[in-house]
């Protein structure tokens, strides 16, 4: 809310006529108090003048004319009340930021012209009226002193605003420092995640060199490292865990390839054992020995077989008890291991031409890395 007011030096009665006075205010007086506001970067912007406030030039001319008409009846008390009213109005205007600057700009010109008008009146009157005019001039000087004090207050407020700006600058620097510390902590955690991935790679290489039993232990350690990596992913935003996720996918692919190589080696070992015992099978199983894969019955010599006239039955064999458990409905050349098959051997019996051939997995069915 903006307060607008003008100094009132006198009022005419209803029965008095308006007569032109001998004096006019100088042209350097502004028509009215302009309106200012604080823009961005501390720039003071002048707004358009509102039509509801009368021009200051007209008000001063009117009041000067009334002073000349009523100089014989003008009392000191009335003049003091009017100056007090003007002072109160100036105090209200000083509370608004847009009026503080204009008060400083218009002060000297307004007081100079007002004092000039009163001094011209003092030369035209005598007696008690002249004393009243001199007292009015003294009041103008007092008003100038009060406005000077107000200017000092504005300077002090400006100093406080400057200190507040410095405080905000310090707060901004503290915020930047905190952000930098958090960035360093995040980088440290990412490096820790990369170290965990490196440990996973080392564990995988160790898994390739060890036997079946030690391979199971390495698999548990690998799963543990994967759980740690997943926990790190949940603790960080997706952008920080993206690299870790890509490396884990690469490890999964590498593990699948190494598992295929391991199965092939076990099959070759089993084949050599059977060659020594003169028990060469006709068929073999092809595919990963883990959940999510598919086992196919293939001929060892690589020739395609027609299974339309061949009966097939799948079994699961316990590794310790060595007892066969028939799998109901598993009578096709391909079979997908189920959760019940984990930790057991898979065996397929193929009946063709009155003869029976057996194809068996080289190792136990593994739950797989994804599970």
Domain-terminating residue out of 228, 260, 292: 260
Q: Judge whether 161 lies within some domain.
A: no
Q: Judge whether 21 lies within some domain.
A: no
Residue 353 sits in a domain of what CATH number? 2.60.40.2700
- pLDDT tens-digit map of 137-147: 788 778 777 87
Q: Judge whether 43 lies within some domain.
A: yes
Domain-terminating residue out of 260, 289, 320: 260
Quote the number of domains for the chain: 3
- pLDDT tens-digit map of 154-166: 778 777 766 766 7
pLDDT, residue 334, reads 92
Average pLDDT over residues 247-274: 77
Q: Judge whether 371 lies within some domain.
A: no
pLDDT, residue 326, reads 92
Dihedral angle, C-alpha 211, 215, 343, 305, nearest 10 °: -70
pLDDT, residue 335, reads 93
Q: How confident is the model at residue 32 (pLDDT cuts 50, 70, 90)?
A: very low
Q: Judge whether 185 lies within some domain.
A: yes
CA 272/CA 10 separation, integer angstroms: 127
pLDDT, residue 2, reads 40
Q: Return the closest-CA partner of residue 114 out of 9, 22, 5, 21.
A: 9
Q: How many CB atoms lie within 10 A of CB 154?
A: 16
pLDDT mean across residues, the chain: 70
246 and 317 co-located in one domain: no
- Domain span holding position 59: 35-125
SS3 content of the chain, % helix, strand, coil (to 5): 55, 15, 30
Q: Judge whether 92 lies within some domain.
A: yes
339 and 297 co-located in one domain: yes
Cα 199 to Cα 190, 205, 225: the distances in Å are 14, 10, 8
- pLDDT tens-digit map of 303-337: 677 778 889 999 999 888 778 899 999 999 999 99
318 and 254 co-located in one domain: no
**Residues linked to residue 314 through DSSP beta bridges, in sequence order:** 348
Copy the structure tokens of residue 158: 């400006």
Average pLDDT over residues 37-58: 52
Q: Judge whether 326 lies within some domain.
A: yes
Phi and psi dihedrals of 31, rounded to 5?
-65, -35
pTM of the entire predicted model: 0.30
Inter-axis angle of helices 56-69 and 97-122, to 10 degrees? Answer: 30
Q: Judge whether 366 lies within some domain.
A: no
121 and 39 co-located in one domain: yes
pLDDT, residue 314, reads 94
């Amino acid at each position: 809310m903006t307060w607008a007011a003008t100094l009132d030096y006198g009022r005419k009665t209803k029965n008095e006529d308006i007569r032109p006075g001998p004096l006019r205010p100088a042209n350097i007086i502004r028509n009215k108090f302009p309106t200012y506001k604080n823009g961005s970067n501390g720039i003071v912007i002048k707004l358009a003048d509102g039509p509801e406030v009368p021009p200051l030039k007209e008000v001063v001319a009117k009041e000067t004319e009334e002073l000349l008409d009523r100089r014989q009846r003008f009392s000191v008390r009335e003049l003091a009340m009017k100056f007090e009213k003007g002072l109160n109005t100036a105090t209200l205007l000083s509370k608004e930021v847009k009026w503080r600057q204009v008060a400083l700009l218009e002060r000297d010109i307004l007081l100079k012209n007002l004092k000039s008008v009163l001094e011209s009146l003092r030369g035209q009157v005598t007696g008690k009226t002249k004393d009243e005019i001199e007292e009015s001039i003294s009041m103008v000087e007092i008003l100038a002193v009060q406005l000077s004090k107000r200017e000092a207050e504005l300077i002090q407020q400006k100093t406080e605003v400057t200190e507040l700006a410095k405080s905000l600058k310090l707060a901004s620097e503290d915020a930047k420092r905190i952000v930098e510390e958090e960035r360093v902590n995040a980088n440290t955690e990412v490096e820790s995640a990369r170290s965990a991935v490196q440990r996973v790679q080392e564990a995988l290489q160790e898994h390739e060199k060890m036997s079946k039993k030690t391979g199971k232990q390495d698999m548990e350690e690998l799963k543990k490292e994967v759980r740690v990596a997943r926990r790190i992913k949940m603790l960080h935003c997706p952008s920080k865990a993206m690299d870790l996720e890509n490396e884990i996918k690469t490890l999964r692919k590498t593990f699948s390839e190494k598992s295929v190589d391991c199965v092939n080696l076990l099959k070759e070992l089993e084949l050599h054992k059977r060659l020594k015992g003169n028990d060469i099978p006709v068929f073999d199983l092809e595919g990963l020995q883990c959940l999510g894969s598919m086992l196919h019955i293939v001929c060892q010599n690589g020739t395609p077989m027609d299974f339309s006239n061949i009966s097939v039955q799948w079994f699961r064999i316990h590794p310790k008890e060595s007892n066969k458990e028939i799998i109901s409905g598993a009578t096709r050349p391909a079979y997908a291991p189920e959760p019940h098959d984990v930790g057991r051997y898979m065996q397929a019996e193929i009946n063709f031409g009155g003869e029976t051939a057996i194809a068996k997995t080289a190792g136990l069915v593994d739950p797989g890395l994804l599970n």
